[in-house]
Amino acid sequence: MARALLIVLDSVGIGGAPDADAYGDVGADTLGHIAEACASGRGDRAGLRAGPLRLPHLAALGLGLAAAGASGRIPPNLAPEGSPSGAYGHAVETAAGKDTPSGHWEIAGLALPQPWGHFPDTQPTFPDVLTQALIAQGGLPGILGDRHAPGVAIVDALGAEHVRTGKPICYTSADSVFQIAAHEEAFGLERLYALCRVARRLCDPYRVCRVIARPFVGTAEAGFRRTGNRKDFAVEPPGRTLLDRAEAAGRSLVSVGKIGDIFAHRATGREIKPGANADCLLAALEALKALPDGGLVFVNLVDFDTEHGHRRDVPGYAAELEAFDAHVPEILAALRPGDLAVITADHGNDPTWAGTDHTREQVPVLAFGPGVAPRAIGRRESFADIGATLAAHLGLAWDGAGREFL
């Protein structure tokens, strides 16, 4: 029986989606613009990286060719040397939006039929009835923020007032999200989680996908910094996913990074949440070593998105991509005969784009393993083709969305 490894490079889009105009994202291209910036020297940072974007192992799997399928051009320095070694293509999201859960659920074979609810880009942004209920039920003196904002910037701006007043910082973005930032020590981490559970219930009538706890530490004098204790409170997927089918079949499941939060801890098996990309990937490969036949390891690598995309940090994003590429040989070495690995993404977050939100993009699909014949799989009309393909590989009955490509 076969095994599978599914790796989501959070936000590594490869060119605007066909409906990007509906999101103000025509021309967005996370990977392509990073590669162009690096080729021109705008991706250099002293002590971090310099020169063209170097992703030789991903390029060999077909990443540059997948990007060409989505955007019409191979990004600088990403053409493979010789024939590609993997099956490569690009996928279009059918669900509305450009948020993390919708992308991951569709990857797992569940495409949302209706869009999520969003808060308007006004100030205040939240309905007063929601705000007052949160204050009353959370036992709060009030809230700060109440607007669209980048997470790091709003903590810098309001962190000192939060510590002084005890009012949590509540904000949102273009995603379907209600975020609450609070100081781990002055406010309390468990108290923040409890408040987010209240907010989760209050946000359900508004069809808000996620409530996110954003803990931070530090002082106004020394600066504030977010910690690794972020926690997402997502609604459950409204239908069966690849994970549900694998669990029903008695298969071994290991979820690494944000996967447990994204799927509301349903059918996510053993959950591991190490933190940084490198630690998540190491944990996934360690789990793969002990994974029995028929099992699945599903890992999200979030640093591309949170540390670099939202912060519009081109050199940092480029360095993160190069760091992942350096681990690709380890991924290849960990695969046994019969194993299938898939590398993909859930949306874009172009660090050269205006604003700090995700971008509506197509994503790469790179499939490889000891028995996978290199080939072009072209444009996939849904991320769900990945779930359908993994189900077929694992011998799981499939009645979800998508069509297998191997």
Using pLDDT thresholds of 50, 70 and 90, give the confidence band for residue 275: confident
Using pLDDT thresholds of 50, 70 and 90, give the confidence band for residue 109: very high
pLDDT exceeds 90 at position 30: yes
* All residues at 6 or more sequence positions from 129 whose CB lies less than 8 Å from its CB, including other chains: none
pLDDT exceeds 70 at position 1: no
* All residues at 6 or more sequence positions from 300 whose CB lies less than 8 Å from its CB, including other chains: 8, 10, 104, 256, 257, 258, 259, 262, 280, 346
Distance, first Cα to last Cα, the chain = 16
Are the C-beta atoms of residues 158 and 169 closer than 8 Å to each other? yes
Percentage, residues of the chain above pLDDT 90 = 94
Distance CA 2, CA 295 (A): 8
pLDDT exceeds 90 at position 114: no
Residue range(s) of every CATH 3.40.720.10 domain in the chain: 4-112+238-394
Determine the average pLDDT of the residues in 12-41.
97
Higher pLDDT, 31 or 96: 31
pLDDT in tens, 61-88: 999 999 999 999 999 999 999 999 999 9
Distance CA 398, CA 401 (A): 9
Distance CA 176, CA 142 (A): 22
What is 128-233's CATH superfamily?
Answer: Phosphopentomutase (3.30.70.1250)
Q: What SS3 state is found at 325?
A: helix
Q: DSSP assignment of 189-218, as one string? A: HHHHHHHHHHHHHHHGGGT--EEEEEEEEE
Using pLDDT thresholds of 50, 70 and 90, give the confidence band for residue 24: very high
Mean pLDDT computed over every residue of the chain? 96
Question: Residue 162: in which H helix or E strand, if any?
Answer: helix 151-165
Percentage, residues of the chain above pLDDT 70 = 100
Q: Scanning the structure block, which residue is given the tokens 């659920």? A: 105
State the pLDDT at residue 113.
Answer: 76
State the pLDDT at residue 304.
Answer: 98
pLDDT in tens, 223-273: 999 998 999 998 999 999 999 999 999 999 999 999 999 999 999 999 999
Beta strand 169-172 pairing with 177-183: antiparallel
pLDDT in tens, 370-395: 999 999 999 999 999 999 999 999 99
State the pLDDT at residue 31.
Answer: 98
- Residue range 4-112+238-394, CATH number: 3.40.720.10
Using pLDDT thresholds of 50, 70 and 90, give the confidence band for residue 332: very high
Residue range(s) of every CATH 3.30.70.1250 domain in the chain: 128-233
